[in-house]
Amino acid sequence: MVQGYLDINPEVAAALKAGKAVVALESTIISHGMPYPRNVETARNVEKIIRDHGAVPATIAILKGRMKVGLSPDEIEYLGKSHDVIKCSRRDLPFILAKGLDGATTVAATMILAAMAGIRVFATGGIGGVHRGAQTSFDISADLQELAHTNVAVICAGAKSILDIGLTLEYLETFGVPVVGFKTNEMPAFYTSKSGFSVNYRVDSAAELAQAMKIKWDLGLNGGLVVANPIPAQYEMDSATINTAIEEALKQAEAEGVKGKDTTPYLLAKVKELTGGDSLESNIQLVYNNARLGAELAVELAKLG
C-alpha cells in the first residue's frame, strides 16, 4: 500500500537491498533552515561527507505529492530555490500528498519516511522539543512523539538551544526514548556542547552504539534513539552570546505573535541576524559533524545484519 506513494531513489534502493549502509537526511534544512545558495551547498556537502565515510545518503522530501527517499542534485536545487515548499510533519503528510504539493520533511516526517524505506539511521542538526513557556502554550514538537514510536536513530547536536532542554529530556524519559551521548556525558545544546543536563548513557564508538540499537529492536522495544553528538569545540559559540541572542529572539517572536510550526524557523533566522551570521556557520559545521557520525553508525549497523 505504501509503495503506491513512495519513490525510493535507485541507488538507495540498491543499497538497502544489498544490506549496505544508508543514512537518511531531512529537507527542512534546505527549504526552511538556510538561505539560498548556502542551503544547496550544505546539502550537497552533507551527502558527500556520507559517501566519503562509506554510506549512501538519502535526502527525504515530498515533491509534487510523491514521497521521495533519495533526491537527485536537480531536486535538491529545486527545493533550495523554491518559495512554495511546505514544512511537513506527520499531520501534514496525507494532505500534501493528496494535493500534489511540495513538502520539506521535519525530523518527525523524515523518520516516518525513513522507516517506510527501511532506513534506521538519520543525521540532522538538532531535534525539536518542548518550547520555552510550554506550560502555558503546550508547544511541544511532534519530533518527540515520533521518537517514542518510530524505529530510527536520530544523530543530532542535541535539542535546539531555543528550547527548554530540561523539559525536553523529561518528556523523552516519560516515553522511554534513550538519550545517548556520543563521547559525552552531557546533553549538548546545539550551538554549544554544554547544557548542564546529563544524558542517559554515554557511548564512545559507533560499533558499541550499533550493538545497543540492534539489541533494542531485536527485543521489540519500539521507538527511536537520540544520539547526542556535540558540536566540535572549534565551532562552538560562546554560551553567553548565544543565550543573549536567543532571549532577544524569543521576545521578538512573542511581540510579533509567532506561533506553532513557524516558531523554530523564525527563531533560528533571528538568532542568525543577532549573531551576525555566526550561528549559521556553527549550524553548518554541526550538521557536517553529525553526517560523519551518521555514516559511521550506519556502516557498523550494516555489519550486524
Q: Which residues are catalytic?
A: 26, 160
- Residue 50 class from Cβ within 10 Å (0-12 exposed, 13-18 middle, 19+ buried)? buried
d(CA 300, CA 182): 15
